[in-house]
Chain A
Amino acid sequence: MHIAKPGYDKLIFELSCPGRHAHSLPECDVPVSDPAQLLPKEHLRATPPELPEVSEVDVVRHYSRLSQMNYGVDTHFYPLGSCTMKYNPKINEDMARLAGFARLHPLTPEAAAQGALQLMHELSRDLAEVSGMNHVSLQPAAGAQGELAGVLMIRAYHLARGERRTKVLIPDSAHGTNPASTALAGYSVVELKSEANGDVDLLDLERHLGNDIAAFMITQPNTLGLFESKIHQITEMCHAKGVQVYMDGANFNAILGITRPGDLGFDVCHFNLHKTFTTPHGGGGPGAGPVGIKDHLAPFLPTPVLVKDGDEYAFDWNRPQSIGKLQAFWGNFGMLVRAWTYIRTMGPDGLRAVSDNAVLNANYILSRLEGEYDRSAPGPCMHECVLSARRQKKLGVTATDIAKRLLDLGFYAPTTYFPMIVEEALMIEPTETESKETLDEFCDAMIRIAREARENPQLIHDAPVTTPVRRLDQTGAARQPRLKWTPQAK
């Protein structure tokens, strides 16, 4: 990492100089400019907000410097498991910034927004094809909101049939959003024990399936990076008891063109466009979490539903059984433009090649590292692999330590301590966009760390030392939270 100015430790507030400014606002070209003549006095701020007074060059330099205190996919290999940190194509950005898209107001009359609506219609059609689902709503703002939409549709479906089911089954290996979204939809969560390889324990599933279960929510491939091979059996068992099956689409990057959730018997799935479909992660969003469903759930889709009538696209608001709205407007449209662009760049063969290479890369890493780290399950993995640092733990080196050492060696870190069912988990997802050379450098670094754990663990405990700050006191931060800048506290 190259820091323009080592040790840069400023907040924008600390660059403030009274009287300095960076704005360039239009003239007041109407007669009365004084708000005190237009608005009752009690509505006007008595004192100006304590905001920075800086010049444009201050702003540009400050945020450029902050950016240099970050690792991103453009600068570093970013094997953060389950997040699919693949390359974000630059053309996506140019397309999302076209004025006809970026400068379009959401309440522009439909007749004057046909280009945007057509793009959305085509994207939902393509996502339906990729997933084998019948309908896709683009409205959810992120995967977790897609989950909520999906579970609410399931709930509405059961209620419409006069069934009051109260529980949702979720494996113990699931992402935390699954139980959180389920609880938000008003269900209690029943945790299902996974088998050692992350597969569903069919006997345990059988025991739990009953008239009180609304849905079974699983990730396919599972969070250990393995394809759940008994999937047809699972969906059939669930359907026999009237249970809907939900697929968390976090790991979609493994199956493009290979298999489709709809064909596997899933009733609902969501997509994380910021994972599989190359919209940028942006330091934690915005994402987009479209949700796909089978026909029987269509009456419950979020409003409005985009429809095509002849050559015209329009929103259908007349959906009496809809679960309602999830976003004020129609979805994270800017992200939808990027995903559309990506799908059109890749075509059917390109999308299939994505998954093939994602799987190849993950297995390559697994085969190079399994001598030094314990693997969590036998056999090939899908697009990510989960290793355990339990051997290193015995030497006093934890998954966290390994992650920190990787930062010094020029890599972002894998996901640590997830899934929770693997001790000292290191979840590595290389994605298809990384080359063999990069994977080799990463594996060499991981092997080096394993050796250091035996020979010189202090080196690992001290890491990182090349980053702008060293290990941070997280406990202190939580005990006495300081969540905003104040003039005194520097």
Chain B
Amino acid sequence: MRYISNTPAQQREMLAQIGVGSIEDLLERIPAKARLSRPLNVPAAMAETDLVRHLRALSALNANADDYACFLGAGSYDHSVPSPINHLISRGEFFTAYTPYQPEASQGTLRSIFEYQSMMAELCGMDVANASLYDGASSVAEAALMAHAVTERNVIVLSKGVNPLYRQVVETYCEGPGIRLKSAPIGDGATDLDALRKAVSGQTAAVVIQHPNFLGCLEDVKAAADIAHAAGALLVVVADPVNLGLLTPPGALGADLVVGEGQGLGVPMSFGGPNLGVFAAKQELVRRMPGRLVGATVDLDGQRGFVLTLQTREQHIRREKATSNICTNVALCALMATIYVSIMGKVGIRKVGELSTAKAHYAAETFAKIPGVRLRFTAPFFKEFTLELPKSPERVAKRLMKEKILAGVPLKAFDRTQKDCLLVAVTEKRTRGEIDAYAAALAAAVA
């Protein structure tokens, strides 16, 4: 019992102080009928060396991005993770602290969150960002709930270009409040603006688009903003902040809320979680935002300090009237992102976008030269693109795995009409050598 400090002698001393004979006496309120009369049926304890051996073997069954060239995207990306991140977040004072309820003893966490809020607001082109939500999907869902509360309208128009996994989460969250979801279809890779215009009405609380969208294509954010605003609705843009060093921030194009997945900012892929839900808004919406917010203030001596603020929005005070039920968020992932953005800085974050774009376009061009393979859409794309293959994408992907390549995400599971398609993501980490090897393997697989 290496994590339990009391020795048997100390346990006896403590029981004597309490005035009982045994620990069992302390459990007197638990009726016999409620007792488990046998040990738990979980595996026996393992020594550390055995445990490590066992888990290494289990982890080795997984095709991971150290052993394979990873071209998988669709919401989780193999971007570079600078070495200092793991070292700094592993410091026990960050790692083993909790929500900064006592600000004087939590300035490290509070300051880093304030920096995170500042960085996200800057990247998104928004006035304010919160301290994080669970993941990109929950951020979109919370944006839908917030738009519903702000506009007192009942319909969310969601582009088909929004990650379908996010859409499913939005549906789950909208079930209780009775918010209806409508779709705006995709034209040539991007949202069909005429169809969007028709889908929007006086009932629309928000239009939600993703930019670049699930298929990798860039959206006309400004046009979508005009359509939403003309109907009195909010525009929610789902974005990946790692792209926003290069791309025009959605805030500058008319977005009212910018939400999305921040995993690309130094957070490991980790089979999809924990991720980092980004949530940024315009100033006038700040008091309706979900989640925690850190603000700057001063202490008794006039020295600068940071505190959790505007807490009357939150569940621990407002209870059933809170803006959201979120309590624990993903502060440590936000810290990873903060350190990542600090390391990349003004110049590096742009370079990540430039390199990803350049390599993705080289890959797309190279792959599209293979007979039978073509780009599904002609709309401009960023670091991800959709290939149409002459053979089953699942089988092609399986074949490429033999060459240690994770080829991409077959789209059949998300949309039957895209059953010939493979979604390919290329980050700055992919080398020309890997891309060329992919091309050769792909050519062989479809021949």
Contacts and interface: CB of A to CB of B under 8 A. Distances in A.
Contact of A115 (B17, B60, B78): B60
A368 B301 contact: no
A323 B175 contact: yes
A107 B72 contact: yes
Interface stretch (A80-88, A204-212, A238-246, A448-456): A80-88
A70 B244 contact: no
A447 interface: no
Contacts of A78: 96-98
Contacts of B268: 97, 102-103, 334
Given A104-B271, A364-B17, A176 B322 contact: yes
A21 B347 contact: yes
A258 B51 contact: no
Nearest to B171: A324
Contacts of B332: 280, 282-283, 285-286
A23 B345 contact: yes
B45 interface: yes
A226 B29 contact: yes
Contact of B18 (A101, A177, A232, A364): A364
Interface residues of A, number: 211
Contact of A66 (B112, B166, B344, B401): B112
Interface in A31-75: 31-35, 38-40, 42-46, 48-54, 56, 59-60, 62-64, 66-75
A35 B31 contact: no
B378 interface: no
Identify the interface centre among B1, B341, B344: most chain A CB within 10 Å of its CB: B1
Nearest to A232: B33
Contacts of A424: none
A8 to B, nearest CB: 9
B345 A353 contact: no
Contact of A327 (B27, B86, B169, B429): B169
Interface string B74-103: 111010101010111111111111111111
Contacts of A68: 93, 108
B271 A33 contact: no
Contact of B352 (A25, A54, A63, A325): A25
Given A45-B246, A484-B128, A412 B19 contact: no
B161 interface: no
Given A281-B97, A364-B18, A433 B4 contact: yes
Which of A76, A114, A329, A415 has the most C-beta atoms of chain B within 10 angstroms of its own C-beta?
A: A329
Nearest to B175: A152
Interface string A311-348: 00000010000011111111111110100010111111
B97 A71 contact: yes
A467 B345 CA distance: 30
With most chain A CB atoms within 10 A of its CB, the pick from B19, B82, B89, B270 is B270
Nearest to A337: B55
B225 interface: no
B267 to A, nearest CB: 9
A143 interface: yes
A458 interface: no
B300 to A, nearest CB: 4
A106 B168 contact: no
B151 interface: no
B299 A470 contact: yes
Nearest to A70: B108
Interface stretch (B130-138, B197-205, B229-237, B369-377): B130-138
Nearest to A120: B271
B45 to A, nearest CB: 3
Interface residues of B, number: 211
A477 B309 contact: yes
B160 interface: no
A468 B14 CA distance: 36
B169 A280 contact: no
A401 to B, nearest CB: 12
A101 B92 contact: no
B5 A481 contact: no
A73 B92 contact: yes
A359 B309 contact: no
B82 A23 contact: yes
A334 B357 contact: no
B388 interface: no
B106 interface: yes
A29 to B, nearest CB: 4
A368 B17 contact: yes
Query: Which of A45, A147, A274, A288 has the most chain B CB within a 10 Å cutoff?
Result: A45
A63 B339 contact: yes
B264 to A, nearest CB: 13
Given A59-B339, A328-B136, A468 B107 contact: yes
B320 A232 contact: no
Interface string B307-324: 101111011111111101
B331 A69 contact: no
A180 B72 contact: no
Nearest to B94: A67
A164 to B, nearest CB: 13
Quick one: which of A30, A60, A283, A473 has the most chain B CB within 10 A? A283
Contacts of A148: 173, 325
Nearest to A114: B61
Interface in B45-89: 45-46, 48, 51-52, 54-67, 70, 72, 74-76, 78, 80, 82, 84, 86-89
A317 B412 CA distance: 14
Contact of B309 (A40, A433, A481): A481
A155 B66 CA distance: 43
Given A23-B82, A89-B3, A282-B331, A471 B218 contact: no
A48 B43 contact: no
Interface in B289-306: 292-301, 303-306
B62 A114 contact: yes
Contacts of B401: 109, 112
Interface stretch (A183-191, A290-298, A388-396): A183-191
B257 to A, nearest CB: 15
Given A284-B292, A323-B175, A144 B326 contact: yes
A69 B299 CA distance: 15
A52 B342 contact: yes
Contact of B55 (A11, A26, A67, A98): A98
Contacts of B166: 328
Contacts of B295: 477-478, 481-483
Interface string A102-134: 111111110011111011000000100110100
Interface string B324-364: 11111111110100110111111111111111011101100
A7 to B, nearest CB: 8
Contact of A70 (B25, B45, B94, B304): B94
Given A59-B84, A64-B88, A100 B59 contact: yes
Given A43-B218, A284-B98, A327-B134, A28 B328 contact: no
Contacts of A40: 218, 380
B193 interface: no
A331 B273 contact: yes
A407 B105 contact: yes
A257 B27 CA distance: 13
Contacts of B446: none
B249 interface: yes
B163 interface: yes
A142 B134 contact: yes
Given A45-B245, A281-B96, A477-B296, A349 B115 contact: no
Nearest to A403: B102
A285 B267 CA distance: 13
A162 interface: no
B386 interface: no
Given A141-B273, A379-B29, 7 more contacts: A51-B341, A74-B92, A99-B65, A189-B320, A274-B328, A284-B292, A341-B55
Closest 6 CB pairs of A and B: A329-B272, A74-B92, A100-B59, A106-B272, A347-B45, A282-B332
